[in-house]
Amino acid sequence: MTWEQRWHPLREEWVIIAAHRQNRPWTGETLEKVSKQIPDYDPECYLCPGNKRVSGLENPNYEQTFVFDNDHACVSMDAPKVAETDLEIYKRKPASGIARVICYSPKHNLTLTELDHDKIIILLKEWQKQYTELGEHPEINHILLFENKGEAVGVSNPHPHCQLYATNFVFKYIETEARVSSAYFKDQRRTLFQDILKAEKEDGQRIIFENDSAIVFMPYFARYAYEVYVAPKESYLSLADLSEKELNDFSQAIKHILIKFDNLWQMPFPYVMPLHQAPTDGKDHSGFHFHIEFHPPLRKPNLLKYLAGPEIGGGNFLSDTSPEEKAEELRNLPDTHYKKTGNKNG
Ligand SMILES: [Zn+2]
Ligand SMILES: [Zn+2]
């Protein structure tokens, strides 16, 4: 039974692993397993081809990925100008930036998990293009690309899509990772993430999948029960630096873990999936290693990991599960999606 603190070197914080608590009694709310049939086109969906969005604009009859500026943007190049405050302690700026939505495919019900390998490649190339083009903008210092999936993370529209926020500031976790990785590189002349990969390989217990150039693992310091990293084996600043062959391997790695996730409880598996790419602020980010993180909110089929006192109140995670056991659980699941093996659940 694992009961210890583990250091998270990318975030510079302790994670308390208290796996002996996993089966403590629970009498609170549980989530219903979603098993309703979703059509491949929904006339009410603002993301489906040909439908009208809230802005009044009509979606084209797109056939692959479809990118548009978010109609409910939280950052915009048109955000109101604000005057500086007289107070030194309170700073403010216009909420400027670019917010976009990227639909994975015209199909309302086709999740990233079920998207064909060649269609995932098309999507990855769209991500590369967005990062490169927006990154060249002088006012854009960072691009946060992420997918929120499932009602458990507050997504009401099931149409598979991700979002991006291109901002003049660097999002906090990436700012920390970039700073820590850069300091490590200067100090050790090695890449921190490469040392993490080396440690994971030496241990081996938490590796879920690998091919020539990509690797999937649950980090030693996982904060969520099913937290998984997908990374190229070479260090790159962003997805845009991957070669055709590496992109191919990376797509295979993503597909592999997504199938495992869905097979876990035979349901579309909810998660928050950010791409951690180097800032585009023109500074030296030697030592940064691009990767994707999956932060699934569920601990059990119907049980959310609630962020409470330690996480929200104190800022450190308390995990009720052992990363070694959870990685093994994922590794032991079938490699074929449950919907393709004839199981009718979900
Ligand atoms: Zn739709
Ligand atoms: Zn990261």
* Per-residue pLDDT tens digits for 317-334: 999 999 999 999 999 999
Contact call for residues 232 and 290 (beta carbons, < 8 A): yes
Burial of 76 (0-12, 13-18, 19+ CB in 10 A): middle
pLDDT for 30: 58
- Chain center to CA of 284: 24
CA of 264 to the centre of ligand 1 (A): 26
Closest CA to 48 of 179, 159, 184: 159
Please confirm, yes or no, whether 161 is among the known catalytic residues.
yes
pLDDT for 199: 98
pLDDT for 346: 44
CA of 237 to the centre of ligand 2 (A): 12
What is the SS3 assignment for the chain? CCEEEEEECCCCEEEEEEHHHCCCCCCCCCCCCCCCCCCCCCCCCCCCCCCECCCCCECCCCCCCEEEECCCCCCCCCCCCCCCCCCCCCCCCCCCEEEEEEECCCCCCCCCCCCCHHHHHHHHHHHHHHHHHHHCCCCCCEEEEEEEECHHHCCCCCCCEEEEEEECCCCHHHHHHHHHHHHHHHHHCCCHHHHHHHHHHHHCCCEEEECCCEEEECCCCCCCCCCEEEEECCCCCCHHHCCHHHHHHHHHHHHHHHHHHHHHHCCCCCEEEEEECCCCCCCCCCCCCCEEEEECCEEECCEECCCCHHHHHHCCEEECCCHHHHHHHHHCCCCCCHHHCCCCCC
CA of 37 to the centre of ligand 1 (A): 14
> Bridge partners of 5?
16
Q: What ligand is nearest to the CA atom of residue 39?
A: 1
pLDDT for 37: 87
pLDDT for 59: 98
Spans of the chain below 50 pLDDT: 345-346
pLDDT for 341: 85
Q: What ligand is nearest to the CA atom of residue 104?
A: 1
* Distances in whole angstroms, Cα of residue 196 to Cα of each of 153, 250, 324: 28, 18, 15
Q: What ligand is nearest to the CA atom of residue 288?
A: 2
CA of 288 to the centre of ligand 2 (A): 10
Q: Which of 108, 142, 159, 161 is catalytic?
A: 161
pLDDT for 343: 56
CA of 319 to the centre of ligand 1 (A): 35
pLDDT for 31: 60
Q: What ligand is nearest to the CA atom of residue 156?
A: 1
pLDDT for 107: 98
CA of 276 to the centre of ligand 2 (A): 5
CA of 32 to the centre of ligand 1 (A): 22
pLDDT for 313: 97
